[in-house]
Structure 1
Amino acid sequence: MPDNFVNQPNNAVNLISRASALAPMLAERAQDCELLQHVPEQTLEDFHQTGLFRAIQPKRVGGAEMAFASYFEMCSEIARGCPSSAWVLTNLASHHWMLTYWPIEAQEELWGESPDVLIASGLAFPCGKASKVGDGYKLSGKWPFSSGVDASTWNMLGGIVSADGGDKPDQRLFLVPSTDYTVIDDWDASGLKGSGSKSVAGEDMFVPVHRTVSLEDIVTGKAPGLIANPGSLFQLPFFAMFPYVVGPVALGAAKGALDTYTVWNKDRVSHYTGAKISELAPVQLRIAEASASIEAAERMFLHRCEEVTSLTESEIQISLEKRAECRRDGAFATKLCVTAVDTLFEGSGGNALYSGNPMQRYFRDIHAAASHFALGWDASATMYGQIHLGIPFKGNL
């Protein structure tokens, strides 16, 4: 990266600009990233040096604390070059945002170790079983999809604390150092291959009280760490914003596919007819359809980020239906991005099947991203439909 980036302030304009400058380099590394099945060390170093990892970390510990919409744009620029690298960036960077939920003692412990600390996650709560012991908890389980875990020294692991008597089970998040769990080398997927989203497992891991937080406190805005982080960024509703944490990867992948398709077809000639491909009406139509879908998706994504931020800054309570709208729109915008890439891939011919052609990577990666529970249409649409119809909703929102 250019040396002058180091001397520029870590504001939204500069961070987005750095992400845009990095994207072509990451595109060149994308195939190697897939072969490694994790993000290359040079890319991790680039994310550190440019400040991207700390984009939504509190200013009080040196982070940029940028607006969520700007963060979304920044991550989507990275995905334009390499969706796998963007997936790791947005997951690990968002954990600085999430760390603000924990008691201040835990924040000081991790950021005191290093403000650049990298924290992976395993948020599947049923995968972890916990029990109260003395001044902490014992946690056991196996958690899949811990993206970027090889680069991380800590992990946010979900678990359910067994209930006593008539109490309802307590869903909690636990901060666990990498020395306490085992990383299982089981990531061999068809998409986002370079994200290194391996499983982790641990048995009877002791977690002190200050390193755990109740999911109910997070959902209701009562997380203990928020008293030290009063900025509106950290008051945003967690589950409503979840699609906008991983959604940038879908948008960036769609933009990258459109870039690839456009450049590739400008001078391409058919092997069979000798016709100039760019002069064929179907090619022109596919570009128009895909670009319209991408632009609509981007507006939908950013509108919700900006709307929820504005409501939070105005201290207006965000209704359950509004939160459901955020989940609905994040998933629908992702559908638009998938449709755009499918449209382009279907018109790319046999050459797009080669492993060296970026088009097949964007195709695989966007379908992998869209399978994330926060971006899946069926669950998000059903959730919205239930709430809109007045049917009792039992999930977290």
Structure 2
Amino acid sequence: MPLKWSTELNRNGEVLSKPIHQKAKSVAAEFAAAADQRRSLSKEVVETLRECGFGRHFVPTIYGGENGDFTTLMAEVGSLGGSCASTGWCGSLYATCGRMASYLPVRGQEEIWGKSGPDVLISTSYRRSGQSIPTEDGWILSGQWHYLSGIEHAAWALVCFAPSEGGSRYGAVRVEDCKILDNWETLGMRGTGSHSISLDNIFVPFHRTFHKRELFSGRSRSTEGKQYQVSPIATDPVLFMAVALGSARDLMEKWAPAGLIRSTDSIFAAAYARSDAELDAAQLLLDRACLNCDQGEMSTFVMLRNARDVSLAAELVIASTERVFRLLGSHVHSQSDTTRKWRDIQTLVSHIGIRSDLNFKNFSNYLWETQRMNCAHSFSK
């Protein structure tokens, strides 16, 4: 039998057996096919995510949030990924967007959570886009922003724009002020509903914005706590990759009892052992990365190593799932749940935060430059 997936445990080694989380897995599985077809999560799934507290996970406790940690969240979204990758992804995204909104000035946080409570769902577009016109106390935004996962069910969106004075800022806009463009057409992860939005002369006050550099340097000036002192470069890809690993684990667990693995068949036996080991190795990489995140402020080396490890975990997951598909041939392609998970994994690992060509290069270049500077310093003595 496959090993128990270690992310079913939180950082204290306790099993995540809350009835609500079991319900979330069940509901996600029930509506997974519908989400794939409709290119959006069902209302039943979204309400379950809200009930589970994904939106409030990183919301400051002053607003009723959980002030949560990364390791527990990784366990939860990874478990959901085994039922439906799109559900796990949106659960992760809603949680991380709550963390992003915690970088807003206190007045901006009050507008989002003060009256509505901590379960407000927020989406984001990480890429800078659109146009901004400065005013006395804010900016007027127009244009299009892309890839806002779960935007149809969110109340707020965080969009990145470039003020005329330089740099980049994130601004919080009400979704009711946005036009959602139904343009999410992809191979996999269809249920995330990562559509674009359009803004037409929407005013965003200064107190509903924050500098992008604050977020990516992991230095919140508005909210205290370890989870607000770490860069999304080190955190978000870990959570996203946990979803892919959850889907891959589910594929493996369904492969073995289907009778397709025979102890007398050395080819299948070797393939299963190798694939299971690859997933275990990927899990270990993500576990260490999450523990680093929960320590809060980290060095540049650790941050880039986290990103490197996520990329390697992605390669291990892809290798494992590709091996299954090559060996099982037409049988596996006739199983809609299996092919959907395969499509979801392929699409998920193409996310820019997970790509190995970028993360491997950044890690190596930093390490080599650091060593070069150390050598130069030694010779100068």
Q: TM-score, normalised by structure 2?
A: 0.88
Match of 1:134 in 2: 136
Match of 2:357 in 1: 378
1:196–1:279 Cα change, 3 Å: farther
- The aligned amino acid for 1:224 is R
Aligned-partner Cα distance in 2 for 1:205–1:14? 46
Indicate if the aligned counterparts of 1:16 and 1:74 stay in contact, CA closer than 8 A. no
Indicate if the aligned counterparts of 1:119 and 1:153 stay in contact, CA closer than 8 A. yes
Partner SS, residue 114 of structure 1: coil
- Range with bigger deviation, 365-374 or 210-219: 210-219
Match of 1:80 in 2: 82
Aligned-partner Cα distance in 1 for 2:176–2:325? 43
Match 2:102 to one of 100, 103, 112: 100
Match of 1:190 in 2: 187
- The aligned amino acid for 2:203 is F
Indicate if the aligned counterparts of 1:128 and 1:157 stay in contact, CA closer than 8 A. no
Q: Deviations over 1:317-375 (max 9, x none)?
A: 52222211111111111221121111112222212223x53221111101111011111
Match 1:318 to one of 269, 290, 298: 298
Gaps of 5+ in 2: 1-11, 372-381
Match of 2:34 in 1: 32
Aligned-partner Cα distance in 2 for 1:22–1:12? 21
Matched, 1:216 2:213: yes
Offset, 1:391 = 8.1
Match 1:258 to one of 252, 257, 260: 252
Match of 1:178 in 2: 175
1:23–1:133 Cα change, 3 Å: same
- Range with bigger deviation, 344-353 or 21-30: 21-30
1:319–1:147 Cα change, 3 Å: same
* Identical counterparts, % of pairs: 24
Match 1:338 to one of 300, 318, 324: 318
Q: Give the aligned length.
A: 358
Aligned-partner Cα distance in 2 for 1:88–1:196? 9
Gaps of 5+ in 1: 1-10, 164-168, 269-275, 393-397
Offset, 1:130 = 2.0
Match of 2:241 in 1: 247
Aligned-partner Cα distance in 1 for 2:249–2:300? 32
Indicate if the aligned counterparts of 1:184 and 1:198 stay in contact, CA closer than 8 A. yes
Partner SS, residue 65 of structure 2: coil
Match of 1:328 in 2: 308
Indicate if the aligned counterparts of 1:142 and 1:201 stay in contact, CA closer than 8 A. yes
Aligned-partner Cα distance in 2 for 1:12–1:91? 24
Partner SS, residue 374 of structure 1: coil
Match of 2:73 in 1: 71
Indicate if the aligned counterparts of 1:214 and 1:223 stay in contact, CA closer than 8 A. no
Aligned-partner Cα distance in 1 for 2:38–2:131? 32
- Range with bigger deviation, 232-241 or 69-78: 232-241
Aligned-partner Cα distance in 2 for 1:106–1:373? 29
Indicate if the aligned counterparts of 2:55 and 2:118 stay in contact, CA closer than 8 A. no
Aligned-partner Cα distance in 1 for 2:236–2:200? 29
